[in-house]
Structure 1
C-alpha cells in the first residue's frame, strides 16, 4: 500500500480524505495527432522521458554488441558451407498467410476514443507536458476525480510526496469505469467524459490500492 507520505499529500491536494487512489499509466504509446491539432495544443511532448540507464544501454549496444556481431559474421564468411544449408526453406514461415491485426483499423490503438477535439484527446495532448514521468495518481474524492503527478523524471509510487494536481473533473464531467477482480498486472479502467470521449489507463501500482480503487468504481 502507498506510504503515509502519499496519503498525507493526497489529503492536502484534495482538501479531504481520498475515497480511493491509484498510481497508473497510459498502457500504450500516445497515437500521433494531426499536425495542426498538435500545434494548436502547444506541440507538447507525446512520449515520457527516458531513464539515463536506457542511454547507457544504447551506448553499450552500439559500441560493444554490434562490433561483436560483426566480428562473428566475418568469421562465418571463412567457415566452410555446411551441408544441406537452406533445406526446408520452401515450407518456411515466408509462405504462411499474413494474419490481420484488428488494431491496425484503430488509429487510436485502444488508448482513447480517437477524437482529438474532445476532452480525452485534449487531455492526452498535454499529458506529458505536466511531467515526463509516465506515472499518474488518479484520486477519487466525494464529488470529483483528480489527476496528479510529480514533476520529477523519477519517482517511487510508494514514497512520492511532491505530486500536484494537474487536472480535475466533477462527477458531472467524468465517470470512472472499471471492474473488480481483474488479473493482476493486466487491470485497466476508463475515464469516460460527458462529451462521449474516453481514456483507458492501466499498469496499476500497489496491489492493495489498485484492488480498493477497482472495487470502488466497480461497485
Structure 2
C-alpha cells in the first residue's frame, strides 16, 4: 500500500482524502499519430525515457552477449560435414519461409484507445510523456472528479513517490473510470471513458491493496 507521504501528497492535491488511488501505466507502445495532429499537440514525446542503467544493460548485451552468440553459431556451422554438403547439393527439402499474418488485420490503435486523436482520450495520450518521462501515472478518485498525476522521475517506487503533481482533472460529468473487481493479478486493466465517447485503457496496476480497492470502488 502507498506510504503515508504519498497519501499526504494526494490529500494536498485533492483538498480531501482520496476515495481510491492507484499507480498505472500504458503497457503498449503509443501508436504513431498523424503528423498534423502531433504537431498541433506540441509534438511531444511518444515514448518513455529509460533510466541510464537500461542503456548500460543494452550496451553490455550488444558488445558482449551478441558476439558470444555469433561465435557460438559459427562454431556450429563451420566446418561443414560432407553429408551436409551433399544434402545441400542434392537440393534436399528445405523448411518453408516463415509466413506470419500482417497488415489489414492488425489494430492500428494497439488496443489502447478509441482511435480518434482529436477527442479527449487521444489528446491525453499525446501528452502522456510530456508530463513525465516515466510511463506510470497516479490516478486519484475524489468525491466529484478524477485526478491524474505524474512524477518527474524516470524511475519511481509507487509506494514512496511523493513528488507527483496533477496533470489532468476530469469532473464526473466529463469523465469516469470503468473496470471490474477481481481481475487476475498482473493483468488487471481499467478504462477512462469520456463524455465525448472516447476512451483510454491502462494497466500495470501497482500495489495489490491499492489496486484491489480501486477496482472494487469503480465497479460498485
Query: Normalising by the residue count of structure 2, what TM-score does the alignment of the two structures yield?
Result: 0.90
Q: What is the rounded CA distance, in whole Å, between the counterparts of 1:76 and 1:217 in structure 2? A: 57
Preserved contact between residue 176 and residue 191 of structure 1 (Cα < 8 Å): yes
Q: Hey, what does 1:212 align to over in structure 2?
A: 213
Q: What is the rounded CA distance, in whole Å, between the counterparts of 2:105 and 2:193 in structure 1? A: 21
Q: Hey, what does 1:140 align to over in structure 2?
A: 141
C-alpha spacing 1:127/1:96, structure 2 compared with 1 (3 Å): closer
SS at match of 2:2: coil
* CA deviation profile, 1:28-85 (whole Å, cap 9, x unmatched): 1111000110011110000111121221122112221232233334444542427468
SS at match of 2:128: coil
Question: Is 1:53 aligned to residue 53 of structure 2?
Answer: yes
5 Å-filtered alignment, 1:86-97, equals 90=93, 92=95, 94=96
Preserved contact between residue 175 and residue 193 of structure 1 (Cα < 8 Å): yes
Consecutive unaligned residues in structure 1, runs of 5 or more: none
Q: Note the C-alpha offset of 1:200.
A: 0.2
Q: What is the rounded CA distance, in whole Å, between the counterparts of 1:65 and 1:16 in structure 2? A: 52
Q: Hey, what does 1:157 align to over in structure 2?
A: 158
Q: What is the rounded CA distance, in whole Å, between the counterparts of 1:103 and 1:124 in structure 2? A: 23
Preserved contact between residue 103 and residue 109 of structure 1 (Cα < 8 Å): no
Q: What is the rounded CA distance, in whole Å, between the counterparts of 1:77 and 1:215 in structure 2? A: 58
SS at match of 1:167: strand
Q: Note the C-alpha offset of 1:118.
A: 0.2
Q: What is the rounded CA distance, in whole Å, between the counterparts of 1:96 and 1:52 in structure 2? A: 36
Query: Normalising by the residue count of structure 1, what TM-score does the alignment of the two structures yield?
Result: 0.90
Question: Is 1:111 aligned to residue 112 of structure 2?
Answer: yes
Q: Hey, what does 1:69 align to over in structure 2?
A: 69
Q: Hey, what does 1:192 align to over in structure 2?
A: 193
Q: What is the rounded CA distance, in whole Å, between the counterparts of 1:75 and 1:90 in structure 2? A: 24
Q: Hey, what does 1:32 align to over in structure 2?
A: 32
SS at match of 1:181: coil
CA root-mean-square deviation: 2.3
Consecutive unaligned residues in structure 2, runs of 5 or more: none
SS at match of 1:203: coil
C-alpha spacing 1:78/1:110, structure 2 compared with 1 (3 Å): closer
